[in-house]
Amino acid sequence: MRIANKARKTNETAIEVSVDLDNPKQVSIKTGVGFFDHMLELFARHGRIGLIVNADGDLHIDSHHTVEDVAIVMGQVIREALGDKKQITRYGTAYVPMDESLGFVSLDISGRPYLVLDATFENQRLGNFDTELVREFLQAFAVQAGITLHARILYGLNTHHKIEAIFKALGRALAQAIQIDPAIEGVNSTKGLIE
């Protein structure tokens, strides 16, 4: 069973995350940042994973700590749930259209975290979500999950649509990468190890 959960408490946030990579039935996101909740729900639904996130952060300051700390814990639980990574496909790529916008994500569950993000957002805020936090989320998530992650907006106008395309594409690419392929013996690496 590929499940994991973790709680993390700092002076800025208290985060609890549970993930079930093989059962998408339970998705519940409560961070106090409405737009972020929406994006994480899209990520989970399109990733076909169960995801429960409860976060209590210092939103009286802004949403930065909450978004970044949720990303940290999400990355950690997904990495833990993947275990030894035996027989996972490892790679995933998705293009997602969202009205006039087109998002792209390609990732490798490599154990070598790296982020390349090519996206600009005209609006600086959507509700109480600062759009520059898209980069902070993806960076922290990639590092903690051990994922090489490339994300791009090929074109688009509406900031909401652009970010939604990225989160949906992230979910769909992850869904591909975590699939078990019985034809793979051990891990999908010539090294025989994915750390």
Widest Cα–Cα separation across the chain: 51
DSSP state string for 77-93: HHHHHHTT-TTB--EEE
Q: Which residues of 73-87 are buried (b: 16+ CB within 10 A; e: fewer)?
A: bbbbbbbebbeebeb
pLDDT value of position 90: 93
* Total residues found in the chain within this entry: 195
The average pLDDT across 68-83 equals 97
This prediction has a pTM of 0.95
Confidence of residue 190 (pLDDT cuts 50, 70, 90): low
pLDDT value of position 195: 66
Dihedral sign of CA atoms 43, 119, 74, 14 in order: negative
Q: φ, ψ for residue 92 (rounded to 5)? A: -150, 145
Sheet containing 13-20: give its strands across. Answer: 3-9, 13-20, 50-57, 27-30
pLDDT value of position 179: 95
CB atoms < 10 A from the CB of 1, how many? 9
- Look at the domain 3-177 and name its fold: Ribosomal Protein S5; domain 2 (3.30.230)
Confidence of residue 185 (pLDDT cuts 50, 70, 90): confident
Share of residues in the chain with pLDDT > 70 (%): 95
**How far apart are alpha carbons 194 and 118 in whole angstroms?**
27
**How far apart are alpha carbons 8 and 72 in whole angstroms?**
9
Residue ranges of domains in the chain: 3-177
pLDDT value of position 64: 96
Q: What does the pLDDT look like over 97-154, one tens digit per residue?
A: 999 999 999 999 989 999 999 999 999 999 999 999 999 999 999 999 999 999 999 9
Q: Which of 173, 129, 133, 175 is nearest to 151 (CA)?
A: 173
Q: What does the pLDDT look like over 9-63, one tens digit per residue?
A: 999 999 999 999 999 999 999 999 999 999 999 999 999 999 999 999 999 999 9
SS3 content of the chain, % helix, strand, coil (to 5): 35, 30, 35
Reply yes or no on whether the pLDDT at 189 is more than 80. Answer: no
